[in-house]
């Protein structure tokens, strides 16, 4: 590895946000999954979560199908898979993470009203069905991107990007990209992993 490459890896890892994540619930189109993970990389998400459709089937990314079982790594954004959405919501909440479901309900608020400087997971729903009511009810909040057109919803990867860049905006303002959020040990471990895959 060249020194330039190592410096770039350190630069990127020093901005990674272990307290910002998404949970993709049954998002089944490879190009949507790939686009969401690419946005996660851009806003410096460290680990994304997914409940793949079809019980136990490997996640399919555009042009690249691979087994993304729990603990295995995407190249720059780890994608951790789970089997049950509600259980995963509760698990994340147990770790002190607020789960914000992208879901229209009585308690939905404009996505810009949420505080993304807190440890946050954005729950994204399946293209056909959206977020299940049970998971949306269990979430700490329901958020929506206001829409004024004829069509009722956005493509899931567009919605993810819109919300994640608001999270990035808030975190930039709060200085969360100014100092490493990873411990020195974790940063060194990941630098080695990324540099020598
Ligand atoms: N028929 C589905 C429904 O009723 O929810 C539409 C799902 S939409 C195509 C797929 C996902 O994109 C949603 O579950 C949500 O995660 C996200 N999404 C789409 N439009 C959104 C919006 N205006 N606000 C927040 N999330 C949105």
List, for residues 60-98, the tens digit of each pLDDT value.
Answer: 666 554 444 323 335 799 999 999 999 999 999 999 999
Cα 125 to Cα 179: distance, rounded to the nearest angstrom = 32
Q: Please name the helix (run of DSSP H) or strand (run of DSSP E) that holds residue 74, with its range, or none.
A: none
Residues written for the chain: 197
Q: Please name the helix (run of DSSP H) or strand (run of DSSP E) that holds residue 138, with its range, or none.
A: helix 133-138
For residue 69, what pLDDT is reported? Answer: 31
Best of 154, 157, 158 to mutate for ligand 1, by most ligand atoms within 8 A of CB? 154
User: What does the mean pLDDT of the chain come to?
Assistant: 91
pTM of the model as a whole:
0.93
For residue 74, what pLDDT is reported? Answer: 59
| Per-residue pLDDT tens digits for 132-156 | 999 999 999 999 999 999 999 999 9
With a Cβ cut-off of 6 Å, ligand 1 is lined by 102, 124-125, 127, 129-131, 144-145, 147, 153-154, 156, 159
Cα 140 to Cα 120: distance, rounded to the nearest angstrom = 10
Best of 29, 156, 157 to mutate for ligand 1, by most ligand atoms within 8 A of CB? 156
pLDDT band at 28; cut points 50, 70, 90: confident
Q: Please name the helix (run of DSSP H) or strand (run of DSSP E) that holds residue 168, with its range, or none.
A: helix 156-173
Rg over CA atoms, the chain: 17
Q: Please name the helix (run of DSSP H) or strand (run of DSSP E) that holds residue 121, with its range, or none.
A: strand 120-124
Q: In this structure, what token pair is assigned to residue 2?
A: 């060249």
Q: In this structure, what token pair is assigned to residue 124?
A: 């994204």
Measured from the Cα of 147, ligand 1's closest atom is 23
For residue 136, what pLDDT is reported? Answer: 97
> Is the confidence metric ipTM above 0.95 for this complex?
yes
Cα 23 to Cα 85: distance, rounded to the nearest angstrom = 8
């Amino acid at each position: 590895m060249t020194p330039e490459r190592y410096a770039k890896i350190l630069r990127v890892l020093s901005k990674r946000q272990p307290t910002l994540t998404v949970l993709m619930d049954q998002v089944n189109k490879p190009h949507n999954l790939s686009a969401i993970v690419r946005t996660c990389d851009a806003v410096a998400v460290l680990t994304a979560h997914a409940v793949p459709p079809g019980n136990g089937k490997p996640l399919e990314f555009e042009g690249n199908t691979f087994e993304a079982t729990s603990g295995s790594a995407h190249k720059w954004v780890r994608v951790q898979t789970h089997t049950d959405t509600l259980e995963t919501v509760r698990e994340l909440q147990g770790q002190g993470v607020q789960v914000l479901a992208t879901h229209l309900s009585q308690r939905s608020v404009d996505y810009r009203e949420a505080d993304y400087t807190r440890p946050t997971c954005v729950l994204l729903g399946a293209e056909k069905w959206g977020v299940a009511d049970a998971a949306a009810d269990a979430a700490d909040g329901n958020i929506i991107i206001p829409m004024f057109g004829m069509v009722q919803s956005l493509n899931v990867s567009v919605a993810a990007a819109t919300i994640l860049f608001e999270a990035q905006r808030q975190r930039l303002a709060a200085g969360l990209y100014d100092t490493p959020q990873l411990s020195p040990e974790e940063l060194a471990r990941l630098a080695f992993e990324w540099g020598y895959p």
